[in-house]
Amino acid sequence: MDEQSTSQKGKYALIASLASSLLLVIIFAVLSVFVNNSRTIPLYSQTDIIAGMVFVFVLSMIVSASIWPGIIEKRIS
């Protein structure tokens, strides 16, 4: 395995991790705004929703950064 191949796999893993984390953040934001707007008295403030989005992003990056490299390694090799 050469250095360029390893670099490409790392780049693909980073892109996949970012994409999946951003997708989860978007899903979280849409669902939380939908639930918040469906109530007569909002349960969450905008600050709560934004803090939740940051929390979801960080946690999903941790998980996806450990999962995607293995998946990409199997697919490329």
* Domain count within the chain: 1
Q: Can you give the three-state secondary structure of 13-71, one letter per residue?
A: HHHHHHHHHHHHHHHHHHHHHHHHHHCCCCCCCHHHHHHHHHHHHHHHHHHHHHHHHHH
Condensed to tens digits (0 to 9), the pLDDT of residues 54-70 reads: 999 999 999 999 999 99
5-22 pLDDT, tens digit each: 778 888 999 999 999 999
Q: What local confidence, expressed as pLDDT, does residue 36 receive?
A: 93
Confidence of residue 76 (pLDDT cuts 50, 70, 90): confident
State the Cα–Cα distance between residues 54 and 65, nearest whole angstrom.
16
State the residue range of the domain holding 38: 3-76
Give the DSSP letter of residue 77.
-
Where does residue 72 rank: exposed (0-12), middle (13-18), buried (19+ CB within 10 A)?
buried
Mean pLDDT across 20-38: 96
